[in-house]
Amino acid sequence: MHVIATAGHVDHGKSTLVRALTGTEPDRWAEEQRRGLTIDLGFAWLTTPSGREAAFVDVPGHERFIGNMLAGLGPVPVVCFIVAADEGWRAQSAEHADAIAALGIQHGLVVISRCDLAPDRVTEVMAEARAGLTHTGLRDAPVVGVSAVTGTGMDDLRRTLDQVLARVPRPAVDDRVRMWLDRSFSINGAGTVVTGTLAGGTLAVGQQLDLASGEHTYAVTIRGLQRHGQAHDRVGPVSRVAVNLRGRGATEIHRGDVLISPGAWPWTATVDVRRVSGVPLDEVPVEVIAHVGTAAIPGRLRSFTDRHARLTFTWPVPVVHADRIVLRHPGSRRVLGGVQVADADPPALGRRGDAARRGQVLAQLPAAGDLGYEVRRRGAVRQAHLVRLNLTAPHADPPDGIRAVGEWWIDGTVFAAWVDRLRDVVAQHHTEQPLSGGLTTSAVRDRLGMPDTALVPEVAAVAGLRLSDGLISDPAREASLGRAEPGITAIEARLTARPFDAPETDDLIALGIGARELAAAERLGRLLRLDDGVVLLPSTPALAMRELSRLPQPFTTSEARQALSTTRRIVIPLLEHLDRRGWTRRTDAQHRVVVR
């Protein structure tokens, strides 16, 4: 499936040619047919001699409707450029050529129309068209002379069109969807219908999409699909598609709105751009109209150099690296030139001299982008964000000097700095808090300025540090309780003599032992803390099991207390600990049995 846009000066026979090729009247409005002048976009379709399906988007040629023309050309990859033999290259021919250059369209053909009216001028006009298109992707496009009235050259045109379409690269059917809308209307019994050119991805009945409209996005669902007047369950690219939507009314949707795959596109109001055609950017007025897809958005241009600038839209749009944008003068309506998105997620310009430095950076970046630079600039970035910006593919490997950690890509120098910094931070923590088991992963993230706690384990491993129970520590550090050692030793001596006689809170306070000291002793394997502040030796549960296994099974809490010569304060947390370890099991509210 292919979509072709017409281009050329007003009244050079674009609509007549489309009508002759397709048998369909592309001028939809009564006023267009009455005046013989295309005002808005028209649509028709055909099947080529080889069986290829192709749709035509017929664009207006009059200078007053340049915005409509750009809406038609914007999403379309192939152009049929028409020049009338009896009039030759004219003003709007040049303007449409500038638009083609600005949009970077590389595929198409040139048609010299109305050859029956000026047969002696065909060769001359062909040369004019060649000269006028030298700055565009159609500079070497095939040229065909025709007369839609007499039929002369029409078969040759169909064959040439077939050959051109055969060379157009196939778009990805599994790509994310971004369909710029050019019409919205309502049909009785169906509701909201929108149309547009599907350049990539696939649409399916029941599919959920986001409708981006101005500053807002709305969730919508596809109720039905049509292509060339026929209903389909699925439609792939490149296609002219009518989409029956649920979720928004027809009057709430406008030309320039866009259907996108949810979460798959960046949403930005600021981009850095590179000039690809037209006026030097330092000569472009600050206020411009930016044409993106079918949208015409007021914007402000801040030039860095004659080739690079920052473009700020009035509202955010889903644009990515390498997208083409046409700049138009807001007053005279003339096309100023074309730019290509160099960065859809540019850095803020907050300090004096930032704009000049940014211009220098952009001048050094290749047009294809520099993935390594994009990661280094951010320090660390999720690969998915780079995919959304059209800077890499979902399953691509990181470039040299970039480390992949889970979903993150990290600049190698940043990662190395994190490793060194983490060693210093952990050493300082051990010095300042010798009883601490280490730093929490969230504390490490904050101290190192890392974007995600999930990065901490990898940094700790490379740093040679230990991660245990959510704490980062130095395994080479000699275990010590410091000033708490005498108190812990006294508790151990007491429990060795009377294993089930856990010290009371007052006993611990008298020994200078608090929660931090107990936690440190437990980490060293010298004490075991149970619920309700009960402290025992780590070997005590095994001693308890020895006594409990001698009891008639099942046994009660009271029988266990008596067997262990202890109190309810101690026996209840101890039995619950044995339950959690699976050594004992409750049989009812009063009884337990030994499992092992």
Maximum Cα–Cα distance across the chain: 121
Q: Rounded to whole angstroms, how far apart are CA atoms 590 and 596?
A: 20
Domain count, the chain: 5
Which residues touch 189 (CB under 8 Å, ≥6 apart)?
Answer: none
Same domain, 468 and 337: no
Q: Which residues pair with 466 in a beta bridge?
A: 473
Same domain, 21 and 126: yes
Same domain, 374 and 362: no
Structural domain ending residue among the three candidates 340, 369, 398 = 369
Whether residue 172 lies inside any domain: the answer is no
More confident residue, 203 or 79: 203
Q: Rounded to whole angstroms, how far apart are CA atoms 136 and 379?
A: 39
Q: What is the pLDDT of residue 542?
A: 93
More confident residue, 424 or 482: 424
pLDDT over threshold 50, residue 290: yes
Q: Rounded to whole angstroms, how far apart are CA atoms 311 and 313?
A: 7
Same domain, 37 and 132: yes
Q: What is the amino acid identity at position 289?
A: I
Across 35-44, 50-59, 330-339, which has the greatest mean pLDDT? Answer: 330-339
The residue count of the chain comes to 596
Q: What is the pLDDT of residue 520?
A: 79
Q: What is the pLDDT of residue 188?
A: 85
Q: What is the pLDDT of residue 308?
A: 97
CATH of the domain at 573: 1.10.10.10
Domain around 381: 370-478
Q: Rounded to whole angstroms, how far apart are CA atoms 18 and 484?
A: 92
The structure's pTM equals 0.78
Same domain, 72 and 37: yes
- What mean pLDDT, rounded, does the chain reach? 88
Under 8 Å between Cβ of 143 and 113:
no
Q: Is the peptide bond before 554 cis (omega within 30 degrees of 0)?
A: yes
Q: Rounded to whole angstroms, how far apart are CA atoms 515 and 509?
A: 10
Q: What is the pLDDT of residues 452-488, one digit of tens each?
A: 999 999 999 999 999 988 899 888 775 667 778 888 8
Q: What angle do CA 425, 430, 433 make, to 5 degrees?
A: 115
Same domain, 501 and 472: no
Q: What is the pLDDT of residue 30?
A: 37
Same domain, 445 and 419: yes
Say whether 489 sits in a helix, a strand or coil: helix
Whether residue 171 lies inside any domain: the answer is no
- Of 140, 105, 114, which is closest to residue 3 (Cα–Cα)? 105
Which residues touch 300 (CB under 8 Å, ≥6 apart)?
Answer: 286, 287, 288, 311, 312
CATH of the domain at 70: 3.40.50.300
Q: What is the pLDDT of residues 194-251, one digit of tens each?
A: 988 888 899 999 999 999 998 999 999 999 998 877 889 999 988 888 899 999 999 9
Q: What is the pLDDT of residue 485?
A: 81
More confident residue, 436 or 35: 436
Same domain, 204 and 136: no
Same domain, 468 and 511: no
The string over 272-307, giving b where at least 16 C-beta atoms fall within 10 Å of a residue's C-beta and e elsewhere, is: bbbbbbbbebeebeeebbbbbbbbbbebbbebbbeb
Q: Rounded to whole angstroms, how far apart are CA atoms 53 and 165?
A: 10
Q: What is the pLDDT of residue 481?
A: 72
Q: What is the pLDDT of residue 357?
A: 94
pLDDT over threshold 90, residue 33: no
Of the chain, the percentage scoring pLDDT greater than 70 comes to 93
pLDDT over threshold 50, residue 491: yes
Q: What is the pLDDT of residues 509-553, one digit of tens each?
A: 888 888 888 887 888 788 999 999 999 999 999 999 999 999 999
Residue 438 exposure: Cα atoms within 13 Å on the Cβ side: 23
Whether residue 351 lies inside any domain: the answer is yes
